[in-house]
Structure 1
């Protein structure tokens, strides 16, 4: 049955018409349904929102006038319109990965009392663009601005794992797999197998690979297109820090990556 609220009159509240706000809320709900399902008819939307079909038709007509939705002439159902893309396309340019990630980096560093970095892929290297330090007096090196090898760092492996095979092959051909420590992986086959695990698990872990006594883990950060644009990592001295045995750390790291991604417009599923 349709909701009784469907016919409520507009009421002035603090200078804003309550009915107008309600219409905005309903229009947003319609857009959410279309974004989720891809397309839907008036009856389907009305049933889900528990509203009269006439109300949904008016909402859709208003959204269509602004090109926010469009009707599939073949099936009579509605889908998101190009107006949504026009608006969305202006957002990424105003988003700063470093700015959006900063609170999450600080939260992780405070919770686990270790160093947290944000890295991006630049010129065949993982470049650390921001860092949050834990409170320990034995904090690790300041990595901001450093070019670190992709094959020997947790962030680098996350970035490598998401590349297409030909692009990854080109980079590794140009950089090689030079050993940084006796623990550095220098076998292409072994590295590729590890990258498969990174893709499957959603995180990378390194131990003593770039520096003896340094352990680290990293998780991906996505943009609004679902492309990996960075990696968030946490590292610390091996004598006190093991990412795979620290309770809840890997889950928190992946969650931080997803929360940063959401700020960059990534749609969480």
Structure 2
């Protein structure tokens, strides 16, 4: 990235921050004065930001204000902050119940990002740092999140050819993954055994927001040697209940969401 590009990005960020004053709208001249930039430069920045939905122009006054995309970004940040607060106590309880590492993941593009995690107390355990990105198709968290996308989003993902083979057990056939996602959605939880890394197993359950949309996945993982079929099935019920507990802390309830229009799920 060139110095000129970095300067443009920095000026765009400064321009967006100028709206923190919460004035109804700001004109090109006023923005140029506050930022110490030329009007033509500010106008070019505004044109780009308007095209991306980050800023919008008031047809009545000609001034500019923050656009709907900025509101959506703010809501996304709020969800993540709320998610951390809601998940923390449940993660601790889940680790105590199962003795295994527990974590919360969200979907970002074709990857799962782990935003919260507590390690197992076992000497033999998995080490996955918070913030790590992993492919969605070969993780239990990713399967939960993909299973609850809309039909169109799910099919677009399967059509992108993003199913990279990481182990001999990784699902790379879109038709096979599609069938598994149907099972995940019907069963209420997902599992991934040796799919991202040989010797690693995990199970995951959905976390819903106040509208009932699945916004994250709660998972537990362990070495396969300790996390065979019997303990996975035994822990699945506790995991689903933990996912529901986090969801309730986010405002979800089966009764209240039954009458709300659903968002991403179809």
TM-score (norm: length of structure 2): 0.63
Mapped partners of 1:136, 1:224: distance in 2: 35
Cα–Cα, structure 1 residues 244 and 205, in superposed 2: closer, same or farther, change >3 Å? farther
Mapped partners of 2:107, 2:153: distance in 1: 12
Most deviating of 125-134 and 174-183: 174-183
1:176 paired residue number: 162
Give yes or no for the alignment of 1:107 onto 2:93: yes
Q: Residues 110 and 162 of structure 2 are in contact (CA less than 8 Å); yes or no, is this contact kept in structure 1?
A: no
Q: Residues 217 and 235 of structure 1 are in contact (CA less than 8 Å); yes or no, is this contact kept in structure 2?
A: yes
- CA offset digits 1:189-223 (Å, max 9, x no partner): 11011001000000001100000000000000000
Choose from 187, 206, 228 the match for 1:220. Answer: 206
Cα displacement (A) at 1:143: 3.5
2:140 paired residue number: 154
RMSD: 1.9
In the alignment of these two chains, the number of paired residues is 179
Mapped partners of 1:157, 1:138: distance in 2: 25
Mapped partners of 1:194, 1:208: distance in 2: 15
Give yes or no for the alignment of 1:117 onto 2:103: yes
Unmatched runs of 5 consecutive residues or more in structure 2: 1-74, 256-266
Cα displacement (A) at 1:93: 4.5
Q: Residues 243 and 249 of structure 1 are in contact (CA less than 8 Å); yes or no, is this contact kept in structure 2?
A: no
Q: Residues 244 and 250 of structure 1 are in contact (CA less than 8 Å); yes or no, is this contact kept in structure 2?
A: no
Most deviating of 136-145 and 196-205: 136-145
Cα displacement (A) at 1:142: 2.0
Mapped partners of 1:240, 1:199: distance in 2: 26
- CA offset digits 1:24-74 (Å, max 9, x no partner): xxxxxxxxxxxxxxxxxxxxxxxxxxxxxxxxxxxxxxxxxxxxxxxxxxx
Cα–Cα, structure 1 residues 264 and 175, in superposed 2: closer, same or farther, change >3 Å? farther
Choose from 126, 130, 135 the match for 1:144. Answer: 130
Mapped partners of 1:172, 1:264: distance in 2: 30
Give yes or no for the alignment of 1:252 onto 2:238: yes
1:234 paired residue number: 220
1:189 paired residue number: 175
Mapped partners of 1:154, 1:128: distance in 2: 12
Q: Residues 147 and 185 of structure 2 are in contact (CA less than 8 Å); yes or no, is this contact kept in structure 1?
A: yes
2:120 paired residue number: 134
Cα–Cα, structure 1 residues 247 and 178, in superposed 2: closer, same or farther, change >3 Å? closer
Cα displacement (A) at 1:170: 2.0
Cα–Cα, structure 1 residues 262 and 243, in superposed 2: closer, same or farther, change >3 Å? farther
Question: In terms of Rg, which structure is larger?
Answer: 1
Choose from 60, 72, 82 the match for 1:96. Answer: 82
